[in-house]
């Protein structure tokens, strides 16, 4: 399908960019170390420390992203999202949104198709918010570097504010009764 074609092209250019990015940053790193040999030890030891920590956390993160994306389909999202309304719907939206399915720009088409199917704005806003800032694999990295307490605090306040945001935006948009979402028609 059309979508697949775009993705493939994207992937190729992304891979190219990846290599260019790695080579460029390696060159900058080497250049700086050669120019400032007296700071070499500090720079290398700090980079090494973070490199090792990343190395420990990256494989499980990537594998869980892969597993989620094959076992949790987009249909599943549509199945659960938008059925329930109110606070229950909001919580389902959070859970579904936190599953790793890709970057935010993938979420917009999914969400807008759900609006067409009748999902409430509250659910959609909560879903987009959760998709953006509460991702399960990313949470593993957050846990590793910033600790459990930071993570629990950030996640709980994010959940509260995302739901609040959903209620407020839903109120504003529904009160005005204007055709906000042109694609619905």
Partner 1 sequence: MAIDFLILNVLVLLALAISFFKSKEKSKMALKIAFKSLINTAPYIIITIVIIGIMQGFIPNTLITEYLGEKSGISGVLLASLIGAILHIPAFISFPLVASLIERGASVMIGAAFITSLTMIGFTSLPLEIKEFGIKFTVLRNISSFIAAILIAIAVGVLL
Instruction: Show contacts with partner 1 in window 65-124 (CB under 8 A).
Output: 65-67, 69-71, 103-105, 108-109, 111-112, 115
Distance CA 22, CA 16 (A): 10
Q: Which of 161, 164, 141 is nearest to 151 (CA)?
A: 141
Let me know: does 139 contact 151? Beta carbons within 8 Å: yes
x/- track of binding to partner 1 for residues 24-43 (CB under 8 A): -xx-xx--x---x--x--xx
Question: What region, left, alpha or beta, does residue 119 occupy, with left being phi > 0 and alpha being psi -120 to 50 degrees?
Answer: beta
Q: State in angstroms the smallest separation of the CB of 86 from partner 1.
A: 20
* The one segment of 52-60, 79-87, 89-97 that binds partner 1 by CB under 8 A: 52-60
**DSSP symbols for 112-146:** HHHHHTT--HHHHHHHHHHHHH--HHHHHHHHHHH
Q: State in angstroms the smallest separation of the CB of 129 from partner 1.
A: 7
User: Rule CB under 8 A: is residue 11 a binding residue for partner 1?
Assistant: yes
Among 74, 91, 95, 169, binds partner 1 (CB under 8 A): 169
Comparison of 87 and 181: residue with beta carbon closer to partner 1? 181
Q: State in angstroms the smallest separation of the CB of 120 from partner 1.
A: 13
Work out the burial of residue 25: count CB atoms within 10 Å of its CB; fewer than 13 is exposed, 13-18 middle, 19 or more buried.
Answer: exposed
Q: State in angstroms the smallest separation of the CB of 14 from partner 1.
A: 5
Q: State in angstroms the smallest separation of the CB of 82 from partner 1.
A: 15
Residues 129-158 that bind partner 1 (CB under 8 A): 129, 132-133, 135, 137-138, 140-146, 149-150, 153-154, 157-158
Distance CA 77, CA 59 (A): 26
């Amino acid at each position: 399908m059309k979508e697949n074609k775009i993705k493939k092209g994207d992937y190729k250019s992304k891979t190219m960019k990846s290599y260019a990015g790695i080579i460029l940053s390696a060159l900058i790193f080497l250049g700086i170390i050669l120019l400032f040999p007296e700071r070499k030890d500090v720079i290398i030891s700090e980079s090494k420390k973070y490199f090792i920590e990343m190395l420990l956390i990256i494989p499980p993160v990537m594998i869980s992203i892969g597993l989620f994306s094959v076992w949790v389909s987009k249909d599943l999202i549509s199945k659960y999202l938008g059925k329930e309304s109110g606070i229950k719907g909001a919580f389902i939206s959070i859970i579904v949104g936190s599953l790793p399915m890709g970057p935010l720009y993938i979420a917009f088409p999914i969400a807008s198709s759900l609006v067409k199917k009748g999902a409430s704005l509250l659910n959609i806003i909560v879903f987009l918010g959760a998709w953006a800032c509460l991702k399960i694999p990313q949470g593993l990295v957050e846990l590793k570097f910033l600790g459990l307490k930071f993570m629990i605090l950030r996640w709980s306040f994010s959940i509260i504010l995302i739901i609040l945001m959903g209620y407020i935006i839903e109120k504003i948009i529904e009160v005005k009764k204007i055709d906000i979402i042109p694609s619905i028609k």
